[in-house]
Amino acid sequence: MFSKIQDFFTALQKKDDLIKKRWLIFFTASSMLVVITLWSFYLSATIRSFNSEPQQAVAPGASETFRNGLVIVSSKIMAELRDWRSAVMSFIGQTNSVTIQGASLNFVTQSTEDIKPRTLP
């Protein structure tokens, strides 16, 4: 079987350019048809039918949508204001304290030897 296919392509190589172009168009179109067919089978297998279960979606009205959005936004703003207020109140309630300690000087200079000064070159 493979020898027949090989003989066909060998004979096709020896033919005129017009015949080669026709076979090229035929093979291209047939391969495109195979790919599109496989793709459509894949899509039909993976995507459920949209007509099988019609859903009645009730969309809320404009005023209800606006009210819901306003409730959400105002609750977020109030939470931020509460956090900000608690941060400010904790900052205001802080007191500063300064502690001054006397220095404890425990230098022992008797056992150290003197450093002799040197001149730089």
78 pLDDT more than 90: yes
Band (pLDDT 50/70/90 cuts) for residue 54 is: low
> What secondary structure, in 3-state letters, does 52-119 show?
CCCCCCCCCCHHHHHHHHHHHHHHHHHHHHHHHHHHHHHHHCCCCCCCCCCCCCCCCCCCCCCCCCCC
What is the Cα–Cα distance from 10 to 20, expressed in whole angstroms? 12
The mean pLDDT value for 36-58 works out to 77
Supply the pLDDT for residue 91: 83
- The better pLDDT of the pair 117, 55 is held by 117
pLDDT value, residue 114: 79
Higher pLDDT, 110 or 91: 91
Do 25 and 33 meet the contact criterion of CB atoms below 8 Å apart?
Answer: no
User: Given this model, what pLDDT does residue 116 score?
Assistant: 86
Q: What are phi and psi of 33, to 5 degrees?
A: -65, -40
Q: Is the pLDDT of residue 26 over 70?
A: yes
Whole-number pLDDT of residue 74: 94
pLDDT digits over 60-76, tens only? 788 888 899 999 999 99
